[in-house]
Amino acid sequence: MTAAARYVVAGGTGLIGRRLVAAWLAEGAEVTVLSRAAEPAGLPAGARAAHWDGRTVGAWADCLEGADGVVNLAGANVGEGRWTQQRKQRLRASRVEPTRALVAAFERVSRRPRALLQASAVGYYGDRGDELLGDEATRGRGFLPELCRDWELESAAAERLGVRRVLLRTGIVLAREGGALAKMLPAFRLGVAGALGDGRQWFSWIHLDDCVAAIRFLAEGSALRGAVNVMAPEPVTNAELTRTLARACRRPARLRLPAPVLRLLFGEMAEVLLGGQRAVPERLSAAGFRFAHPRIDDALAALLAPARARR
């Protein structure tokens, strides 16, 4: 009888983590979620929990022994609050420290995990205008690219330990239950939304189902290593996203938030809203991954249709 696959997920109670853990459990895999909470809220039924502090190696390291894969999704939300110096330090620590602890734990186990899927973000590339960005594109400038660089570099030692490492440079994940779309929907449903700045900045996005499927593809059946762009193959501009979401909500979206207003409201973080990346999943697509929702109009229709059906 074949043994069940075993996975360990750090950040397993977040938007992506919950869906990923539930998908693996549904396939009969054994999943352990590393959590700072003794009894983590939102833990999918059937998942095991291992308590850790996200900084030091402890008894939790035992769950890594012989694991088929480790997915590190730990990290505070960059879109919550102004980027004060204190906030920047927290964003960095919430990513770098858990990654450092995981790699240190790899050294302790006799049978190391087969793969480490390390979260990163499309923000690695910075604001690049209309430049088409494949997986090998260079890093941009600014706080977010530097944050992603430090996050990725902290996991580099895993390769030297013989663990296949994949850097998940994920686009903006669209889901009804959280993330960017959930924050945008109230304004769009009230008809008081609009484009940000001039609306020409690119938006690299991915449907939550495709994001989870891509992570599973990279963990289970792919030999890919290194940086992998995880986003839909057709990025859109902010103006196009605004028009498409307005149509999906059957509401107008004629307003516009000028760049100076956004900078006043959000400070340095406004550059994330005003800049963008036209990134594409070259390596993921070449490896044979097929998107269920490659186009923004289909993705939004799929996400919003259940809500309309219930009304």
Beta strand 164-170 with 202-203: parallel, antiparallel or unpaired?
Answer: unpaired
In this predicted structure, the answer to whether residue 309 has a pLDDT above a threshold of 80 is: no
The domain locations on the chain are: 6-173+206-231+279-292
Beta strand 202-203 with 115-121: parallel, antiparallel or unpaired?
Answer: unpaired
In this predicted structure, the answer to whether residue 58 has a pLDDT above a threshold of 50 is: yes
Residues in a beta bridge with 236: 203
pLDDT in tens, 78-130: 988 889 999 999 999 999 999 999 999 999 999 999 999 999 999 999 999 99
Give the closest residue to 234 by CA, choosing from 294, 155, 154: 294
Query: What's this model's pTM, rounded to 2 decimal places?
Result: 0.94
User: 6-173+206-231+279-292 adopts what CATH topology?
Assistant: Rossmann fold (3.40.50)
What letters, b where the CB count within 10 A reaches 16 and e where it falls short, cover 78-107? Answer: beeeebeeebbeebbebbbbbbbbbbebbe
Percentage of residues of the chain with pLDDT beyond 70: 97
What is the crossing angle of helices 85-106 and 143-153, to 10°?
20
